[in-house]
Amino acid sequence: MAFNNRLLSFNRSVWLISMLLIIGCVAPASRISDMSVHSLYQLGMKAYRHGDFKQAQRYWSQGLIKTAQNEHMMTRSASFLTGLAHVHENLGNYEKAIDLAGQAQQIADKLSDPKLKAETHVIMGHAYLQMGNYPAAINHSEQGQLIAQQIGNLELESDSARNLGAIYKNQSEFNRAENFYQTALALANQAEDVLLQAKALNNLGELSQRRGRYAKALELYNRSLQLRQEIEDWAGQGNVLGNLCRIYRDLNDYERALKFCNRALKIARKTNTKAYEANHLNNIAEIYWRLGEFNKAEKSFVQSIEIKQALGDLDGEARAWNNLGLIFKSEGKLGKALDCFFKSLNIKKQLKDRSGLSATYFNIGLTYSDLDRHDDALKYLKKALLIQTELAEATLLWRILGHLSDIHKQLNHLDLAVFFGKMAVNNIQSLRSENLKLKKHLQKSFLEDKRVIYENLANLLIDEGRFPEAQQVLAMLKEEEYFDFIQRQSDNDTQWTKATYTKTETDFAIRYHELTADLIEQRKVYTQLNKKLEGGQILTQAETQRLDELNARLEEARLTYLDFLNELEQVFTQEHHLKEFYARDLDEVSQTQNLLSKFENTVLVYYLYTDEKLRILLLDSNLSFPPELHEQPISRSELNQLIYTFREKLSNRGDHLIAAKKLFKQLIAPIKADLNLLKPDTLLIYPARSLRYLPFSALFDGEQYLVEQYAVTMYNAAAQSYLLLEKPKAHWSVAGFGVSESHDPLFNNLPAVEDEINAIVKEKTADEIGILPGSVYLNQDFTPDQLMQTLKQKDAYQVIHLATHFKFTPASPIDSFLLAGKGAHISLQDLLRGDYQMAGKDLVTLSACETALGELDQLNQDGRELEGLGTLIQRKGAHAVLATLWPVADESTAVFMEQFYTIREKKNISKAEAIRQTQQLFIRGNVIMDETNRKARLRGASLPAEEIAESQFEHPYFWAPFILMGNWQ
């Protein structure tokens, strides 16, 4: 723009004028009427350049008086008019700015000056933009752009592009806005106009912030600020400082945000830019509100509203009313809060500001929720969600979804609360993945106000007994993980993880995203044609008809979306009564007792629970001993919390005994008298739902772990009766598959796997090491095809030992997989549908992480279980599976497996008893770390007592995750 060039070129005259003032050749400020037109213009430019808009207005107004009546000075009059238009725009007097620019445009028409005409269009376009009159803003900006292109004026073309970018940014058409801003920056660079470069960079920063790309926004703001400092653009510096205040506010770094806001406010007051002063006051008030300093916040909000009203800035006034409502809401003055919100809402409707409408709808919904008017709360939150689905603004969508989850939890719609909670978390995860370049402390502060969303969802999942999903959500909050040993678990960045959906949730999530995409597309198509109408163009009859059709489609898409939200409520809030015995009626109990009669010293313990109580059914192999039913008055959520706490203590290797005792009291103590009478050697545990994630062997009675008293085996629906009756061979042969070299970025290497496999498998009779005869398939030799071919050799191997990683993704059989050599994946779906023949195998050992886990999709009406790897292998025909409940330590696992096979082979005892005796080795401190090679080993019997190192493996973390499922013999 010519005005920008004049800003940079006036310095040549400033020194001369200043010297003339000093020596008295030019009149002082008190004799401004005596100044020359040239001096008035140059001094006004100097004042404007330093942000002193009132002084600039004084000089230029006098200059306009001197030139207005002189036809030979029309060009100079136009310069004063455009300068004054810029002054009034900066002061927030937008109508005055438009009037002055219009006068300058009349001169441009008389002089046939296209450059001046383009400049006036740009000024009016920006003023209409500030007033929220987007059709007029588009019309003038596009006219200015067209003329600038015709005359080859890069500066004016850049300014026009910035105006258009701002219009589309405000209408949440971010891609179109970015294209215009990038065009503006390229033109500014081509013109070598530093001020325009700074402005375009600032605009791009605002857009990035609006999209939640905070790292990029900070980079752009700082580049803009540096340029403005180089050219001493004080007003511009204040604008950028205000934006830096807002971004640090969004990142929850309030101390730094206040520093930037106060610097910006100081500049605004010094330059008398009331519009900016009001904005900075509004931002400062919001920070004080977030800090809980409500008196300071209210004072600043009121000041901001007064300025906005005086300026006629409806958009700013609406924001201020909305924010003042937040103060009253925080103080519990809910009636006053609603009054403020509805004042804001009326202005937003007048301006057709959908983004502002969604924010106010959201706040009204929260206020009705505080008033326990949940139906009204849901009504307004759905309105907010509908708009945000179209706009997808980073700072609001996750909040709406999170609060929908909260309200449905209050209404006891727990399944729907989980669904909305997952959507909120996944939205935040997308934002985090966009901001990985932020400094660590900013990534942490960014997450602070969002942490509650993760925690609320995790607690919901825990209450529902959905532990793998809860652990996945909480893992997203962890900043770093430290391990004393190499862990068999994923090493991927949790900031890229998304909360996985169950099958039913997945179906609705897919529909949600399809409806969202359709809604966005319908709005995009409608907006493109409506732009012509808003720009003042006359539509043809066909275009008018087409616009009406598109509007109808958009409204239909919105109604379909709202109908979908209502359908969600109906489907997810239906009661899903738990069958107390999970389809196991008395006939099945009788059949099971008949099966038990085939075994000696074995009892089966059914665990069943409802929302209010736990039921324990004890069955003995003695048919004369009737089933005993015991009840415990503990709710499902209380029991789930106990289980979750216990697992957390175990996985963190913390003090677990208190939780272990509490669980023993609830699960074992009620049947302990019967157990003492029956004296079983083996407990078959048939766990319900969340109890499947509990290591029963680690329950503690105050003196002993449960596994020190009984061998423990998991009994489940996959344990077919004929498989349980199969007698295992006295001596086994083994096929050992292992991965020590990951070749997959998700996983660490497992250096102890090679030692583990070699210690178990004796490939040749003459080998000095090895326990069972067999074959080894390590790393590149472990392929999906090799595993498939080995399994087909039915009589060659009784044991299949798999030492590798397993990634368990809750509710996703495709994304849950076993890692083979060279990074190959064998998914649960592959195992289920592929030709992996497990029939005839006495044991499949899964020496990997979380291989026993599965999840029940409670909403799936046919009640199918999404199986964990262990259960799936049983269903494929394996007699028994040795699996794990959590990521296992690489070094200690090698010792565990070696001792398990050794004990079973030498003593010819049951698998369950061999596991029990192996676990006792750990409990009694007989497994230690060999400091010479940093490998776990058995304690040497020949060592003197004073030289025996203290065991590092007594904690259940190392021995309790191993569970036996199926045939325990």
Name the 3-class secondary structure at 585.
Answer: coil
> What does the pLDDT read at residue 4?
57
Q: Contact 824/869 with Cβ under 8 angstroms? A: no
Q: What is the pLDDT confidence band of residue 18, given thresholds at 50, 70 and 90?
A: very low
> Of the ranges 243-252, 267-276, 417-426, 855-864, which one carries the lowest mean pLDDT score?
855-864
Q: Contact 820/858 with Cβ under 8 angstroms? A: no
Enter the tokens of residue 165: 């970018």
For residues 102-129, give the mean pLDDT.
Answer: 92
Q: What's the order of all strands across the beta sheet hosting 962-966?
A: 628-632, 614-620, 602-609, 682-686, 711-714, 962-966, 880-884, 843-847, 799-803, 734-738, 772-778, 761-762
> What does the pLDDT read at residue 218?
93
> What does the pLDDT read at residue 3?
61
Whole-angstrom Cα distance, residue 428 to residue 433? 9
Whole-angstrom Cα distance, residue 926 to residue 938? 6
Burial of 23 (0-12, 13-18, 19+ CB in 10 A): exposed
> Of the ranges 306-315, 324-333, 877-886, which one carries the lowest mean pLDDT score?
306-315
For residues 833-855, give the mean pLDDT.
Answer: 74
In whole numbers, what is the pLDDT of the chain averaged over residues? 81
Which amino acid would we find at residue 279? N
Enter the tokens of residue 662: 């509490």
Look at phi and psi of residue 70 and say left if phi exceeds 0, alpha if psi is from -120 to 50, else beta: beta
> What does the pLDDT read at residue 22?
32
* Contacts of 844 by beta carbon, 8 Å cutoff, 6+ apart: 799, 800, 802, 838, 873, 878, 880, 881, 882
**Residue 15 CB coordination number (10 Å):** 9
More confident residue, 589 or 83: 83
On the question of pLDDT at 869 being above 80, the answer is no
On the question of pLDDT at 21 being above 50, the answer is no
Q: Tens digits of per-residue pLDDT, 43-69?
A: 988 887 766 778 889 999 998 998 887
Q: Classify each residue of 55-81 as buried b or exposed e, where b means 16 or more C-beta atoms within 10 Å of its C-beta.
A: bbbbbbbbbbebbeeeeebbebbbbbb
On the question of pLDDT at 287 being above 60, the answer is yes
Pairing of strands 734-738, 799-803: parallel
Whole-angstrom Cα distance, residue 713 to residue 706? 12
Query: pLDDT over 90 for what percent of the chain?
Result: 32
Q: Could you give the count of Cα atoms lying within 13 Å of 703 in the half-sphere of its Cβ?
A: 1
Angle between helices 194-210 and 154-170 (to 10 degrees): 10
For residues 721-727, give the mean pLDDT.
Answer: 64
For residues 849-861, give the mean pLDDT.
Answer: 42
Residues 283, 284, 286, 287: is their CA dihedral positive or negative? positive
Pairing of strands 927-930, 628-632: unpaired
On the question of pLDDT at 263 being above 60, the answer is yes
Whole-angstrom Cα distance, residue 906 to residue 922? 19
On the question of pLDDT at 586 being above 50, the answer is no
> What does the pLDDT read at residue 858?
35
For residues 530-539, give the mean pLDDT.
Answer: 66
On the question of pLDDT at 324 being above 80, the answer is yes
Q: What is the pLDDT confidence band of residue 667, given thresholds at 50, 70 and 90?
A: very high
For residues 579-583, give the mean pLDDT.
Answer: 32
> What does the pLDDT read at residue 49?
72
Cα 817 to Cα 136, 303, 334, 885, distances in angstroms = 58, 60, 52, 15
Q: Classify each residue of 250-279 as buried b or exposed e, where b means 16 or more C-beta atoms within 10 Å of its C-beta.
A: bbbbbebbbebbebbbebbeebbbbbbbbb
> What does the pLDDT read at residue 848?
63
Q: Contact 843/880 with Cβ under 8 angstroms? A: yes
Q: What is the pLDDT confidence band of residue 200, given thresholds at 50, 70 and 90?
A: very high
On the question of pLDDT at 234 being above 60, the answer is yes
Q: Tens digits of per-residue pLDDT, 898-930?
A: 899 999 999 989 999 999 999 999 998 887 766
Which amino acid would we find at residue 339? D
For residues 315-320, give the mean pLDDT.
Answer: 81
Enter the tokens of residue 74: 């029309």
> What does the pLDDT read at residue 334?
94
C-alpha dihedral (204, 205, 208, 210), degrees to nearest 10: -110
Which amino acid would we find at residue 796? A
Q: Tens digits of per-residue pLDDT, 777-786?
A: 999 999 999 9
Whole-angstrom Cα distance, residue 685 to residue 603? 9
Name the 3-class secondary structure at 192.
Answer: coil
More confident residue, 358 or 497: 358
Helices (H), 535-656: 541-572, 586-596, 636-651
Whole-angstrom Cα distance, residue 874 to residue 864? 16
Whole-angstrom Cα distance, residue 882 to residue 914? 12
Q: Tens digits of per-residue pLDDT, 141-197?
A: 999 999 999 999 999 999 999 999 988 887 777 888 999 999 999 999 999 999 999
Q: What is the pLDDT confidence band of residue 787, given thresholds at 50, 70 and 90?
A: very high
> What does the pLDDT read at residue 171?
72
For residues 274-286, give the mean pLDDT.
Answer: 87
Which has the closest alpha carbon to 430: 481, 392, 389? 392
For residues 1-21, give the mean pLDDT.
Answer: 44
Enter the tokens of residue 138: 């588009």
> Of the ranges 122-126, 534-538, 702-706, 933-937, which one carries the lowest mean pLDDT score?
933-937
> What does the pLDDT read at residue 542?
83
Cα Rg for the chain, rounded, in angstroms?
37
For residues 258-277, give the mean pLDDT.
Answer: 87
Angle between helices 37-49 and 74-90 (to 10 degrees): 20
Q: What is the pLDDT confidence band of residue 318, given thresholds at 50, 70 and 90?
A: confident
> What does the pLDDT read at residue 866?
34
More confident residue, 590 or 8: 590
Query: What is the value of pTM for the model shown?
Result: 0.58
Name the 3-class secondary structure at 615.
Answer: strand
Most confident of the ranges 450-459, 468-477, 669-678: 669-678
Q: What is the pLDDT confidence band of residue 835, given thresholds at 50, 70 and 90?
A: confident
> What does the pLDDT read at residue 810?
59
Q: Tens digits of per-residue pLDDT, 351-407?
A: 778 888 999 999 999 999 999 999 999 999 999 998 888 876 767 899 999 999 999
Which has the closest alpha carbon to 740: 893, 883, 929? 893
